[in-house]
Chains A and B, each alone.
Chain A
Amino acid sequence: MRRALHEKRSGLTPCDFETARIDTYVGTVPVLDDVRVRPDLLDYDCRNNRLAQLCLEQDGFAGGVAAARGRHGAGRIGFYLGTSTSGLHATELAYRRRDPKTGALPADYRYAETQNAYSLGEFVRRYLGLGGPGFVVSSACSSTAKAFGNAARMIAAGICDAAVVGGADSLCLMTLYGFHSLGLTSPGPCRPFDADRDGISIGEGAGFALIEKADRARSGAILLLGVGESSDAYHMSTPHPEGLGARLAMRQALECAGLQPADIDYINLHGTATKTNDASEDKAVFGIFGPETPCSSTKGATGHLLGAAGITEAIVSILAIQSGLMPGSANTRSVDPAMKSNYLLENRQANVTRVLTNSFGFGGSNCSLVLGVAE
């Protein structure tokens, strides 16, 4: 991901997902068709859990959790995960194979292990051998950002000593046709904050992080400094035009971190590339940070990973801190002149120590995280 961000590469391609016939671009993980879930977890086999497993196997993550199990004991490690659609594609496929006489779903359909929102939670818990308490957050596109808040609170309350956060969201027909029905999918690769932006590109993705108590943090460790959560109380699928909920979430995250807006070096925006999201987010960001703080959306590179947007963009934020890279916006040609924030079209190298990242979802669910680094 670090290299892809440096090269400003976009993973968006014309949509050829399954039988979808929609004129749009998507971010797919094509190898998922060939991923085999671990034999003891075969009941959980579905696109979303394959994606989760593939991700858990990257970057030595599962090994890192095994080491943490040794330090804390499996029963002291919780899991707070997010997903928007879980294994819904398994249900979509089962609905095509209903019994023509009775209408029944096929006998091999497994609801609990695929469709239920908790499927991802139990799969990851078993895969990593965790024994602590946990659950799945499903608050649409803020899900995996909010999971950081759950983990921080649980650790603070002594419910667990460490926690796995993150989650997965995979492509399915419901989101492709659903966003299309709302007129929110772009026919091309999405262009956040562009004057000619015309909608989102849906992507699939996963990300995980292991969180431990900060009192053990070594120099250079990434710190979760603040979490802010709010509701728009406005509309189910349209953000508040002035970004009121977004402002509340950002202010709360700063307050929680004990920081001023000027302390933030870079903002990773939600930046979905819909007309309304980007306009209202710009108002909210400008209202708090003014015209200086560099900000960008990385959805031109990844697409909108829906429930997994929070964790993957938290990871982009961590990479920004570790490598000093503030990523320029892939696919955006010219910034909408109505936007007042300092939106980055090109990559910028700088000393980055504190990043704020935004995730907003349907139902007006907003979450902002502030990440930093231990001295």
Chain B
Amino acid sequence: MRVFVEGVGLLGPGLQSWNAARRVLTGEEPFRSASTVIVASELLPPAERRRTPVPVKLALAVGQEAFQNAGRDAAATATVFTSSSGEGETLHHMCEALASAEREVSPTRFHNSVHNAAAGYWGIATRSREASTSLCAYDASFTAGLVEAATQVTSSGKPVALIAYDQPYPEPLHSARPILASFGAALILAPEASRRASATLELAVPTGDEKPTGMSHSGLEELRLGIPAARALPLLEALARKMQGDVVLDFLTGTRLRISVSPC
């Protein structure tokens, strides 16, 4: 499968946007870890903006940046959302309420608890009625999302946005499933080369347990291993460096995703 990267969005600790972080990923600027700053999307009506949980804000922010960088219309583009953790804060509040004697649950929290909450708010924000899906494959959620987005691009012949995001759980869930920090990454993938395209990705899903590509910087490697969505980092680094070569991502036991990257 061959797809073309038209735009990237990124938000993570010390990686405040794709445009700001590119120089960190190329090594031109040092990586300095800092809390991820997440701002609510201005695309949402004020009432919805107040109700959106943090993971939704994170997903919308990286999606929006990727579309801006690609110069594409979000309303006309299908989306693949992927997350290992989903809506952790909402899950925690719901479970706390359900463990209490009163069991008073908030209807807004309930509809925000679904794994596809980000996709729902994205539709409201961008007015996109295009197809949208929401996936999970535990630590391999980014890889699963990329494979799905690429098959959609090749089968429909239209561009697709991949939006991957993970937000740490509050305690006590955090101890059961530690996620290091907030991290989101988005790619606009297209079926054909154009002036927008910055790289070509050739995807294959070989069997075997080939070692996945790591990050040479220890701080970035810590993010890659500590946040499922940050498994995107080796691919993002290859894109930032305009590298020609292979990136191998974890998939499931006995399966890998090999991405042959070449700049356009």
* A residues neighboring B (CB under 8 Å): 21, 75, 84, 88, 91-92, 95-96, 98, 103-105, 109, 111-112, 115-118, 121-122, 125, 131-140, 146, 150, 153-154, 156-157, 159, 173-174, 177-179, 181-183, 229-237, 244-245, 248, 361-365
Q: Chain B residues with Cβ under 8 A from A115's Cβ?
A: 177
Listed by A's residue number, 5 A-B pairs whose Cβ atoms lie within 8 Å are: A116-B177, A136-B136, A159-B147, A361-B114, A363-B121
Query: Which 10 A-B pairs give the minimum distances between C-beta atoms?
Result: A363-B120, A178-B110, A138-B115, A229-B131, A117-B136, A135-B144, A233-B123, A95-B99, A237-B111, A231-B123
CA–CA, A121 and B1, complex, Å? 24
CA–CA, A182 and B119, complex, Å? 20
Q: How far is the CB of A128 from chain B (nearest CB, A)?
A: 13
Q: Chain B residues with Cβ under 8 A from A134's Cβ?
A: 137, 144, 252
Number of A-B residue pairs with CB-CB distance less than 8 Å in the complex they form: 203
A233-B127 contact, Cβ under 8 Å, with A131-B254, A174-B113: yes
Q: Chain A residues with Cβ under 8 A from B127's Cβ?
A: 233
Name the contact of A181 in the complex, choosing from B110, B126, B130 (C-beta under 8 A).
B110
CA–CA, A281 and B123, complex, Å? 19
By the criterion CB–CB under 8 Å, are B137 and A121 in contact?
yes
CA–CA, A12 and B92, complex, Å? 30
Q: How far is the CB of A95 from chain B (nearest CB, A)?
A: 4
Which residue, A121, A122, A134, A157, has most C-beta atoms of chain B within 10 A? A157
By the criterion CB–CB under 8 Å, are A230 and B131 in contact?
yes
By the criterion CB–CB under 8 Å, are B151 and A153 in contact?
yes
Q: Chain A residues with Cβ under 8 A from B130's Cβ?
A: 230-231
Q: Chain B residues with Cβ under 8 A from A235's Cβ?
A: 124
Q: Chain A residues with Cβ under 8 A from B148's Cβ?
A: 135, 150, 153
Q: How far is the CB of B89 from chain A (nearest CB, A)?
A: 14
CA–CA, A363 and B129, complex, Å? 11
Q: Chain B residues with Cβ under 8 A from A122's Cβ?
A: 138
Q: How far is the CB of A247 from chain B (nearest CB, A)?
A: 10
Q: Chain B residues with Cβ under 8 A from A116's Cβ?
A: 84, 136, 138, 177
Q: How far is the CB of A115 from chain B (nearest CB, A)?
A: 8
Q: Closest residue to A227 on the B side, CB-wise?
A: B131
Name which of B18-26, B31-39, B168-176, B187-195 contacts chain A. B168-176
By the criterion CB–CB under 8 Å, are B107 and A182 in contact?
yes
By the criterion CB–CB under 8 Å, are A98 and B144 in contact?
no
Q: Is B184 an interface residue (CB 8 A)?
A: no
A139-B134 contact, Cβ under 8 Å, with A181-B107, A363-B117: yes
Q: Chain A residues with Cβ under 8 A from B244's Cβ?
A: none
Q: How far is the CB of B123 from chain A (nearest CB, A)?
A: 4
By the criterion CB–CB under 8 Å, are B137 and A136 in contact?
yes
By the criterion CB–CB under 8 Å, are B124 and A234 in contact?
yes
